[in-house]
């Protein structure tokens, strides 16, 4: 079923954005949209997005990448209320001891539902490696991190390691020693 006034390609794009936002909690990139609907030119994707915005199906914030919000249901055309979103900065590889949220470290801003993220200073990192597969965190996954000065034993943390950009591990203590524990028996604890 097509929504009134949209081409089949625009309908397909709108449905893809809606499905990805529901599944992942944030919308796809322009490149992901193009790949999903068979468009190789980002400018063509942008043109379709502009049309969807002009017709009221999408809301976009041009100052933020990936800031797409479906306003009208792709099938019925009815208004959609997804709740409030907040934009979480996605940071690249950051050396330990640097300001993770410094402007030069922010690659893009990813909109996510407030119900999912909660409050506080947050940022997002892409995980590299397989040390946390037992916790369901796979290579290439994105993790949302709350900035805080302390952690409790058993907490999942992103810890800065001298000479490295950081690591995702479980926080434990052995007396006064901090122990970072992987969720994969093929990896060793870090002390």
Which residues does the annotation mark as catalytic? 131, 169
Nearest to 57 by CA among 46, 48, 44: 48
At 75 the three-state DSSP class reads coil
DSSP conformation letters of 104-166: GGEEEEEEEEHHHH-SS-EEEEE--SSTTGGGT--TT-EEEEE--S---TT-EEEE--TTSS-
State phi, psi for 183 to the nearest 5 degrees.
-110, 45
């Amino acid at each position: 079923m097509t929504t009134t006034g949209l081409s089949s390609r625009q309908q397909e794009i709108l449905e893809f954005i809606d499905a990805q936002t529901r599944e992942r909690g944030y919308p796809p990139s322009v490149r992901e949209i193009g790949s999903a609907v068979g468009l190789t030119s980002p400018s063509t994707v942008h043109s379709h997005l502009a049309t969807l915005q002009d017709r009221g199906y999408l809301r976009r914030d041009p100052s933020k990448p990936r800031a797409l919000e479906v306003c009208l249901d792709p099938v019925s055309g009815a208004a959609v209320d997804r709740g409030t979103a907040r934009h979480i900065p996605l940071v690249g590889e950051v050396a330990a001891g640097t300001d993770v949220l410094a402007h030069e470290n922010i690659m893009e801003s990813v909109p996510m539902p407030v119900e999912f993220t909660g409050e506080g200073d947050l940022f997002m990192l892409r995980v590299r490696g397989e040390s946390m597969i037992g916790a369901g965190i796979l290579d290439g996954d994105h993790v949302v991190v709350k900035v805080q000065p302390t952690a409790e034993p058993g907490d999942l943390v992103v810890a800065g390691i001298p000479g490295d950009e950081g690591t995702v591990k479980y926080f434990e203590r052995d007396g006064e020693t901090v122990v970072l524990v992987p969720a994969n028996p093929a990896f060793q604890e870090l002390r």
